[in-house]
């Protein structure tokens, strides 16, 4: 791992944080009281929320395994969040210990956890960066050391683009990460959807996001598909996560998310 400047100390334990709320929903321990209170508020008002968190994680795992089945051996996990069970590098290294993984997050806490977890690894690392600045990530020394863009790459944008407001051009961000990819590269996306919600539910979700200081943009199927630009969605397209290439029986979809994978031809 390349030497880096100390990560900024901007951890606020008194305000809920999306990564820590996600960790709590998955049964993790890297969260604070504010995260647990906010999570319980969501679940009390919208009980299917907990299912959505699990669906997202399960989709990520199936997406990685599918990319591995295609021969992809290098991965960028954009907006990785906190480590949990079945992390990308664990899935990848079960298949090929020499495959490479770079985790990226703009929150220093997940990055610190991953860097500690991967301190002795020569094939995986984590960097503190903002996906709204793709050029900085693509030119980062750890990215250029571990990712060879002359070979296919698996890019994960799982539960991250709904935190990018329209003014920050999420489609342009996807295009910037897609541009250096060679044919055969794949990009997985999982995104909160605005479809199927009533006005009161949407007001509650927006109010919670504002209270946490984290903008969340719910988009419909057409808007999410548009983020992928010229990339080709593979079967079964953009669907509820449990319906994307299921590998086991699953409970009814929560309806919170849409997920899919695109291929660069």
Rounded to the nearest 5°, which phi and psi values hold at 226? Answer: -65, -25
Give the architecture-level CATH label for domain 18-263. Answer: 3-Layer(aba) Sandwich (3.40)
Residues paired with 190 in a beta bridge:
158, 259
pLDDT greater at residue 197 or residue 10? 197
- Residue 135 confidence (pLDDT) above 80: yes
Q: Residue 197's pLDDT is what?
A: 80
Question: What pLDDT, on a 0 to 100 scale, did the predictor assign at position 3?
Answer: 40
Does 13 or 215 have the greater pLDDT score?
215
pLDDT per residue as tens digits for the range 193-242:
999 887 877 787 777 667 666 778 999 999 999 999 889 999 999 999 99
Half-sphere exposure (Cβ direction) of 92: Cα atoms closer than 13 Å: 24
Cα separations (Å) of 179 from 167, 175, 221? 21, 6, 23
Q: Tell me the pLDDT band of 31, cut-offs 50, 70 and 90.
A: low
Check residues 40 and 188 and name the one with the higher pLDDT: 188
Q: Is the pLDDT of residue 2 over 50?
A: no
pLDDT reported for residue 212: 60
Q: What is the pLDDT of residues 52-108, one digit of tens each?
A: 888 999 999 999 999 999 999 999 999 998 898 899 999 999 999 999 999 999 989
Cα separation, 233 vs 250, whole angstroms: 23
pLDDT > 70: percent of the chain:
80
Q: CB–CB of 251/218 below 8 Å? A: no
Mean pLDDT of the chain: 87
5 pLDDT exceeds 50? no
Which residue in the block uniquely carries the two structure tokens 């709590």?
24
Predicted confidence (pLDDT) at residue 7 exceeds the cutoff of 50: no
Least Cα distance to 104 among 72, 140, 59, 148 occurs for 140
pLDDT at 139: 98
Q: Is the pLDDT of residue 10 over 60?
A: no
């Amino acid at each position: 791992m390349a030497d880096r400047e100390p990560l900024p100390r901007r951890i606020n334990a008194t305000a809920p944080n999306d990564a820590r709320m996600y960790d709590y929903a998955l049964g993790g321990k890297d969260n604070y009281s504010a995260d647990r209170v906010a999570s319980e508020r969501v679940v009390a008002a919208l009980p299917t929320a907990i299912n959505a968190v699990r669906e997202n994680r399960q989709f990520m795992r199936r997406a990685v395994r599918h990319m591995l089945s295609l021969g992809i051996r290098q991965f960028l996990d954009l907006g990785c969040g906190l480590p949990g069970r079945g992390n990308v590098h664990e899935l990848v290294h079960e298949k090929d210990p020499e495959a490479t993984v770079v985790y990226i997050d703009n929150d220093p806490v997940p990055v610190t956890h991953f860097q500690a977890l991967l301190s002795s690894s020569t094939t995986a690392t984590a960097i503190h960066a903002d996906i709204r600045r793709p050029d900085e990530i693509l030119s980062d020394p750890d990215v250029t050391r571990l990712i060879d863009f002359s070979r296919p790459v698996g890019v994960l944008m799982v539960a991250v683009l709904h935190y990018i407001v329209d003014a920050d051009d999420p489609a342009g961000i996807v295009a910037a990460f897609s541009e250096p990819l060679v044919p055969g590269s794949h990009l997985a996306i999982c995104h909160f959807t605005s479809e199927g919600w009533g006005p009161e539910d949407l007001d509650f979700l927006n109010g919670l996001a504002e209270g946490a200081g984290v903008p969340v943009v719910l988009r419909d199927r057409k808007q999410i598909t548009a983020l992928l630009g010229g990339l080709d969605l593979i079967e079964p397209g953009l669907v509820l996560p449990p319906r994307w290439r299921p590998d086991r029986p699953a409970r009814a979809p929560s309806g919170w998310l849409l997920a899919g994978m695109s291929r660069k031809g």
